[in-house]
Structure formats: C-alpha cells, structure tokens
C-alpha cells in the first residue's frame, strides 16, 4: 500500500472515509479476492490515485469481510467504487474501467483552480489579510459568478464587516442551498439594523397608508428582536396585497428561516401567511 491507499474495515470507516472526506475526496473500492475484474481495476485506480499526489485518497474494502457495510451502500456487483466528499457519497461506478475513464472520474472530484483560489482566500482571511482574501474571492466570482464556495465565503466576510446589502448581492446568483438561504435571510434582516424605530413609528402614525414606512417599521421591529410585532405588521401588508406585499412575504420567510421551523411563533404565522396568500 502507498501513502494514499489503505485497507479499511467497518470499524475504521467513520474515521478513514467519512471524516477524512471533509479534507479531501475519498474513493472507496469495494472488492473481493475471488473477483477477476477487481484485480484488473486495482493497479489502475491505485496508480491514478498516487499520481494525484494526496489530493484524493483510496480506501479499499473487502466486501466479503465487510458485508454489512457493502449492503449499506447498495453494492450489488464488484468492483464498485464510491466517491465521498464532505461525509456523503457523491458519485460511483461499477466494473473495471480503463485508465482514461478512471482518470476522468477522479479529475471530476478534484478541486479546480477556482476552488484552490477560494481555499487560499480562506487562509489569507484567517491570517488577517481581509483585503487580499476579498480581492481573491472577487476574482473567482468575476470568472464564475455562481461559484458557491466563493460567494458564501465572500458573503461571510461582508457580513462580518456589516456590509449586508453587498452580501445579498454576492449571494443572489448562487444556487439556493440551505446554507445560502440561511445567510441571505440573516443578511436581509441585519440590513434593517440602522432603521430608526421611533421615527418610523411616527411616520406610520402620521400616514397609516404609507406601505413603505409600514414595511420598514416591521423590519425595524424584527432587527430589534420584536418578531411577533414584526410578523404581524408584515402579514398585514401581505393581506392588503399592495405594492409591498411580496417584499413583506419574503421578509416573513426570512424571519421563519432565522427563528427555525420548530418555533411556535413560526408555525402560527406560517399558517396565517398561507391563508393570506391562497
């Protein structure tokens, strides 16, 4: 076995595959001693993994000795190779592929130049070079405006700095993963921190028909942690079906996201919002 290839048993699987896959992709090769195609694939995949120089690891699992583990991942034929990233299986193949196809499979798992730039930006930020990190992340997004990790990392930097509106702009083009959705909600809610609650209350009292003032007042209450008051005001705008109705609906969803679905207040207002819309 080489540095990047190891035999793994069920007892080692959590540490050697799932935990390690948060650092680098890990290939799991389910094989058996009696399997002819396994003997064909084994030197090919080990060679390609070695050539990757530590950017990927290979865990070889004897399916006869670890039948429960093979069954857990639906292995029906061998060799079966399953790739893990961030603790989850992401792709797989069955059978003895030629070297060119094995290389293609592995290359798809390795970080791109943009991915490596994001990792370098992380290191710069941790070292205190915020300007350098921001410049590198913006460079990545100039090439690929939908690069998830670059957008999330830059948005986090901007949120730490209090630049909430810019954080929202950065995340807007990115696929709405749960992480992005949560960050967007937090950013939009935080953007109301500078609103003057007393001034807005006076404005709404003077002109109850001013939807924009009512919307900002509800957001100011949200920023102050008065979520019940905020949700009540936003729901009223949704029910009125005026110009700020959709903005109010989105603001309610942001509060739901930040508070969490198990919060009784969220459950109550989620039902009331559904009634107002439908």
| Sign of the alpha-carbon torsion through 189, 246, 231, 180 | negative
Q: Which of 38, 187, 218, 237 is catalytic?
A: 38
Which residues, listed in sequence order, are joined to residue 29 by a DSSP beta bridge? 60, 81
- By C-alpha distance, which of 65, 52, 50 is closest to 9? 65
Active site (annotated) includes residue 38: yes
- By C-alpha distance, which of 154, 153, 145 is closest to 175? 145
Active site (annotated) includes residue 1: no
Q: Which of 26, 27, 28, 35 is catalytic?
A: 35
- 4: number of CA atoms within 13 Å, CB side? 18
80 backbone dihedrals φ, ψ, rounded to 5°: -120, 130
Catalytic residues: 35, 38
């Amino acid at each position: 076995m080489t540095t990047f290839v190891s035999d793994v048993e069920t007892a080692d699987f959590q540490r050697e595959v799932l935990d390690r896959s948060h650092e680098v992709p890990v290939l799991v090769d389910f094989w058996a001693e009696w399997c002819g195609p396994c003997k064909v694939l084994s030197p090919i995949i080990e060679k390609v993994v070695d050539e990757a120089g530590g950017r990927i690891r290979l865990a070889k699992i004897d399916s006869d000795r670890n039948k429960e583990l093979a069954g857990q991942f639906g292995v029906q034929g061998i060799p079966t190779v399953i790739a893990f990233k961030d603790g989850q299986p992401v792709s797989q193949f069955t059978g003895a592929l030629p070297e060119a196809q094995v290389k293609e499979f592995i290359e798809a798992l390795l970080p791109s130049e943009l991915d490596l730039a994001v990792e370098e930006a992380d290191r710069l930020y941790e070292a205190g070079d915020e300007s350098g990190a921001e410049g590198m992340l913006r460079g990545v997004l100039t090439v690929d405006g939908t690069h998830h990790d670059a957008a999330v990392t830059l948005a986090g930097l901007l949120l730490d700095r209090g630049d909430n509106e810019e954080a929202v702009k950065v995340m807007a083009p990115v696929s709405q993963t749960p992480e992005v959705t949560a960050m967007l909600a937090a950013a939009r809610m935080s953007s109301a921190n500078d609103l003057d609650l007393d001034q807005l209350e006076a404005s709404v009292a003077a002109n109850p028909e001013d939807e924009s003032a009512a919307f900002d007042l509800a957001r100011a209450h949200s920023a102050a942690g008065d979520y019940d008051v905020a949700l009540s005001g936003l729901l009223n705008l949704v029910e009125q079906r005026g110009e700020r109705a959709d903005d109010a609906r989105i603001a309610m969803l942001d509060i739901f996201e930040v508070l969490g679905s198990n919060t009784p207040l969220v459950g109550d207002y989620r039902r009331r919002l559904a009634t107002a819309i439908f």
